[in-house]
Homo-oligomer: A and B are copies of this chain.
């Protein structure tokens, strides 16, 4: 539900980890991070809180090929994602190559697009 939410400890901490992360987080990452402070936190609570935050458009799902959804703050504008093949973390990328309409054949209508780049992140690249 979008109205009448209560400001519980659990939901406060869940919002905090998203604000601090600066990159998309999946359900297990949120569960793990909040559990450092609230060890009893149940996974169903994380799912319910995230789904409510998506419904009220504070979070946006980041659907990535071949993996479970991550989520990020919804106020970020059009951008794309990088997946580190070493540490498996997801990062935001700035910019967009555009020209997507050229890829679409006659008769098809393009509405939007996702780009995912795979590689090695800055931190893992140092090893």
Contact = CB atoms under 8 A, between A and B. Distances in A.
Interface of A: 61, 63-66, 69, 80, 82, 85, 91, 93-100, 102-122, 125
**Total identical chains:** 2
B122 A108 contact: yes
Given A63-B65, A63-B66, A66-B61, A107 B125 contact: yes
Contacts of A94: 103, 105
Contacts of A105: 93-94, 122
23 contacts: A64-B65, A65-B114, A66-B69, A80-B103, A82-B108, A85-B111, A91-B108, A93-B103, A97-B99, A97-B100, A97-B102, A100-B115, A103-B115, A104-B119, A106-B122, A108-B119, A108-B121, A111-B119, A112-B117, A112-B119, A113-B116, A114-B116, A114-B118
B100 A111 contact: no
A111 B119 CA distance: 5
Contacts of A106: 122
